[in-house]
Structure 1
Amino acid sequence: MSILNPSQARKTFYQLLKDVNKTSEPVYISGKNEESEAVMVSKKDWDAIQETLYLQSSGVADVIQQREQENEFVALEDIDWDTL
């Protein structure tokens, strides 16, 4: 992960946007305190993070993990998505 201060990030902002989208590598912007720190990620990666958090919070990830451990094969069309 690249680490830049806010001035460096400002100077190379458009290149950083291209880089995080091309490589999926986040960029850490290190400020003087927590209020001036951030992490830049691509929209695609952000959406994936949000989806993962949702699946974990709703219990779907636990069901998937349980079925993987049981080696239980379920055809995609047989899954009742409303009761997962």
Structure 2
Amino acid sequence: MQENFTPTNARKNFYGILREVSTEHKPITIQHQDENLDAVIINKRDWDAIQETLYLATTGTLAEVQKREADDSGWTDIDDIDWDNL
């Protein structure tokens, strides 16, 4: 299925669009002549994953995880992590 639709074509193919974003995990763009009305449809689980990643990045947690992954000094026991103060 194509990745860009006009609003009219999107309306005609809405069920197919929902199936594709859910099975292929690829966003579908709805393009209008007025760019201010453009939209993107993505799977809810993909959206939740994006939101979680953004949250982890803004709280510094993602950087801390990446730092620990790159640390070659050994493994950290999961029970020793102070999750509330990352």
Identity among equivalent pairs (%): 42
1:18-69, Cα deviation, whole Å (9 max, x unpaired): 1101110110111112321011000000000000000001100110111122
* Counterpart AA for 2:14: F
CA distance in 2, matches of 1:8, 1:18: 15
Q: Note the residue ranges of structure 1 that are not aligned, 5 or more in a row.
A: none
* Counterpart AA for 1:83: N
**Counterpart in the other structure of 1:79:** 81
**Counterpart in the other structure of 1:40:** 41
Question: Aligned-residue CA RMSD in angstroms?
Answer: 1.4
Q: Which runs of 4+ in 1 moved over 3 A?
A: none
CA distance in 1, matches of 2:61, 2:25: 25
Q: Note the residue ranges of structure 2 that are not aligned, 5 or more in a row.
A: none
TM-score by length of 2: 0.87
